[in-house]
Copies of this chain bind each other. A is one copy, B any other.
Amino acid sequence: MKIAVFPGTFDPITLGHTDIIDRSLDMFDKIIVGIGVNSNKLPMFPIEQRINWIKNIYKEEKKIEVLSYSGLTVNFCESVKAQFIIRGLRTVSDFEYEKAISDMNQLLNPQIETIFLACTAKYSSFSSTMVRDVIRNNGDSSLFLPMEIHHPISMAQQEFQKK
């Protein structure tokens, strides 16, 4: 059984993320979307909300599981018996950063292989950072987000405007 982890912060999940997940489905028997919890970084959306959004988007897809984790990604992979890590590559700076992490992970556990997909051209400039900026400033965030979360994000956006 081929199990892969797709790690990230997903704050929030974008069309760039779902593109990578959808294109990876044929390759694996199970894909665990692993939401890394980092005590130093304050997220825009609470972890429960981020988990539920992804679960909702993939509610018909049996192969997808959503979990949160803290600590090293390789340790999380070991705990869920995943042999693969999936990462999307948008830019040259993504590539350099991801290559260094992939090298480090290979040293920490040579049994776990990192698989890269190049982001589809039209999504390759989407980042959660920019999407959060659009949300915060009341722009049209639906351009960048899966349909299933247009409504909840637009609700959140109204909350942000009131502050």
Interface residues of A (CB under 8 A from B): 2, 23, 26-27, 71-72, 74-75, 83-84, 89-93, 95-96, 98-104, 106-108, 113-118, 120-127, 130, 133-134, 137-140, 143-144
CB distance from A91 to the nearest CB of B (A): 5
CB of B137 within 8 A of CB of A72, answer yes
| Identical copies of this chain, number | 6
In Å, the complex CA distance between A31 and B91 comes to 28
CA–CA, A58 and B64, complex, Å: 35
- In the complex, the answer to whether B125 meets A122 with C-beta atoms within 8 Å is no
Task: For residue A3, give the distance in angstroms from its CB to the closest CB of chain B.
Answer: 12
The listed residue (B83, B125, B133, B137) touching A99 by CB distance below 8 A is B125
How far is B22's CA from A113's CA once the two chains are assembled, in angstroms?
Answer: 11
